[in-house]
Amino acid sequence: MAEKTILTVSDLIFEAQGKSILDKISFTLSDDETLAVIGPNGAGKTVLVKCLLGLLPYKGSVIWNKNVKVGYVPQKLYVEKNMPLTVAEFLAFKEKKLAKVEETLVKVGFGGRKNLLKDKLGVLSGGELQRVLIAYALLGEPNVLIFDEPTSGVDVVGEGTIYSLLHKLRAEKHLAIIFISHELHVVNQYADTVFCLNKEKVCYGVPHHAINEDVLTKLYGEKVSFYEHKHHDY
Amino acid sequence: MTTNFYFLLVIGALVGVVSGLLGSLMILKRMSLVGDALSHVALPGIAVALMVGINPMFGAFVALLVAVLGIWYLEKTSDIYPEALVGLFFTTSLAIGILITPEPELFEALFGSIEKISTLDGVVIVLSSLVIFTVIRLIWQKLILDVVSPDLARVGGIKMTRVNLLFLLMVGLAVALGVKFLGTLLTGALVIIPAIAARNISQNLSAYRVWSMVFGALSAVVGIVLGFWLTLPVGPLVVLVGVGLFFLTLLYRKL
C-alpha cells in the first residue's frame, strides 16, 4: 500500500502567559509511520500532543485527514486504590460488547491473566494499567495512536513489553503511531522518524541520521554524550 | 400509624435514594464538602420564602440555583478548585440566613420538620426525583470518565462544562428536596454518608451506585421510624442511622 500523509502540522505556535512553549513546529505523519517526539523536561512534548488532540488552543494549523480516528493513551489515570471501578466497567465506556473487549485484552498481552475484568483499576501495576489504556484506545478502532510517555511509571521489564507491543500492533493493524519518549534506545529501535523538541524543532528525520552529538547538546545541555543503550530481546 | 406516616416513609426513602445517588458521584469527584456547604446556602432562600409567604422548598431551590451557578463558574474559570472561597461564601450565607430567618421558623429551617411535609411537597419530590434519575442516567458515564481522565473525556468529544453544570443543578435540586426533612445543617450528611458507607463494601461501580441508594433509603426510613417511635426530631436520627451504617460497613471491610 502506498504511503499517505494523514497529518500535516505547520507553524504550530503555543504560548502561555506570554512565554513561548512551542515555536513554529512543522512536520507530517504518514499512515503507517511511527514518529517519536523526544526532548528534555519542559520542552513542550505534552503540550504538543495536546495541541494535536485539539485540547489546547494554538496558532498555526494541525490538519488531520478526513476519516482519521485518533486513539489517545494518556500518561496515567486518576484512580485511587479503592476506587470502585473495574477494568470491565472502564472498558465498557468505550465498547459494550464483552467479546470484543476480551479479544482486545488478549491483543494487548493479557491472554493469561485471569479475572482481570473484575479487578479494580486501582490495584493494577503501572504496566498493566498502561496496557488497559492501550486496549481502551484500540476499542475505538483507531488508525493513529498517540502515546504520552508510554513508559512513565513502568519498570524496565514492563517498558520493553510496552514498546514491543506497539511494534506488534503496528504490524497487525496498519497503524500510525506518535509517541513521546526520552529514551534514545527506544527511539532508535522503534521509530521511523524522530522529532527532537526543545520549544522549537532541533532535529527531524530518521533517528540514526537526525540524532547526533550536536543535537543532543542542544536538547539536553553540554554534558550529555551520545550514548546508546544496548538492550536485548524486546 | 396513619396514612401520613406511610406517605412520609415513601417520600423519605425517595429523598434518601436520590441523595445517595448524587453523593456517590460527589465522593468520586472529591467534592464531598460542596454538598455540605450548599445546604447552608438554602437557609437565606428559606428565610426569604417564609417572609414573602411562598413554599420554603422553592426558596431553597432558588438560592441553591444561584450558588450552583457560582460554583460552576468558579470551576470553569480557575484551574484550582477554589475551596476556601466556597467555604467563605457559604458560611456567610449561613450567617445571613440565621439573622433574617423569622425566629419561630429558625429551628425547623436548621434541623428540618418532617411533619410539615404536605401532599404538594410530596408531588414535587416525586417529580424532581424522576428528573434527577433521568439526567444522572444520561451523564453518569461521562462524569466517571472525567474523574479518571479529563483528557480522555475531552478527546472522546464530551462537553464537560455542560455535563458538570447539569450535575451541579441536580445536586442543588436534591439538596432542596432534603432541606425540609433534615434542615440546612444536616442535609449534606444524607448526600455524603450513604456513599462513603457504600464505598467501603463495593467491588465495582454498579454495586457502589446501588449500595449508595440503598443506604440513603435505609437511613431515611429507619430514622423516620425511630423519630416517630421515640418522639425525637427525625433529622438528627436519619443522620445518626447513616453514621451507624457507615461503621457497620467499616467493620465488614476489616473482617
A89 touches chain B (CB under 8 A): yes
In chain B, % of residues over pLDDT 70: 96
Number of domains in chain B: 1
pTM: 0.87
Q: What's the grid cell of residue A199?
A: 520549544
CATH code at position B167? 1.10.3470.10
Distance CA B131, CA B125 (A): 10
- B contacts of A144 (beta carbons < 8 Å): none
SS3 A10: strand
Structural domain harbouring B131: 3-254
CB contact under 8 A, B148 and A84: no
Distance CA B82, CA A138 (A): 37
Distance CA B210, CA B8 (A): 22
Considering A11-25, A90-104, A146-160, B73-87, the range whose residues carry the highest mean pLDDT is A90-104
Best to test chain A binding among B81, B143, B145, B149 (most A CBs inside 10 Å): B149
pLDDT of A228: 52
pLDDT tens-digit readout, A133-176: 999 999 989 999 998 876 655 655 555 667 778 888 888 878 89
pLDDT of A184: 78
DSSP, res A53: T
Q: What's the grid cell of residue A26?
A: 512543522
Distance CA B38, CA B65 (A): 10
Best to test chain B binding among A17, A68, A70, A72 (most B CBs inside 10 Å): A72
Cα angle A84-B72-B36, degrees, rounded to a multiple of 5: 60
State the nearest Cα–Cα gap between B209 and chain A, in angstroms.
Answer: 10
The DSSP bridge pattern shows strands A200-205 and A193-198 to be antiparallel
DSSP, res A18: T
The DSSP bridge pattern shows strands A176-181 and A193-198 to be unpaired
B65 touches chain A (CB under 8 A): no
B167 touches chain A (CB under 8 A): no
Q: What's the grid cell of residue A96?
A: 459494550
Distance CA A2, CA B131 (A): 54
What ipTM, to 2 d.p.?
0.86
Neighbours of A111 (CB within 10 A): 8
Instruction: Please give the full DSSP string across B173-198, using - where no structure is assigned.
Output: HHHHHHHHHHHHHHHHHHHHHHHHHH
> In terms of CA atoms, which chain A residue is nearest residue B209?
A84
State the nearest Cα–Cα gap between A188 and chain B, in angstroms.
Answer: 29
- A206 pLDDT higher than 90: no
CB contact under 8 A, A89 and B145: no
Dihedral sign of CA atoms B207, B209, B210, B212 in order: positive
Q: What is the mean pLDDT of residues A39-57?
A: 88
B203 touches chain A (CB under 8 A): yes
Best to test chain A binding among B24, B25, B201, B204 (most A CBs inside 10 Å): B204
- B contacts of A74 (beta carbons < 8 Å): 149, 151-152
- A contacts of B152 (beta carbons < 8 Å): 72, 74, 136
Cα angle A156-A158-A162, degrees, rounded to a multiple of 5: 115
pLDDT tens-digit readout, B67-78: 888 878 877 776
Distance CA B140, CA B134 (A): 10
CB contact under 8 A, A53 and B155: yes
For chain A, list the domains and their CATH numbers. 32-55+69-220 (3.40.50.300)
pLDDT tens-digit readout, B152-165: 999 888 999 899 99
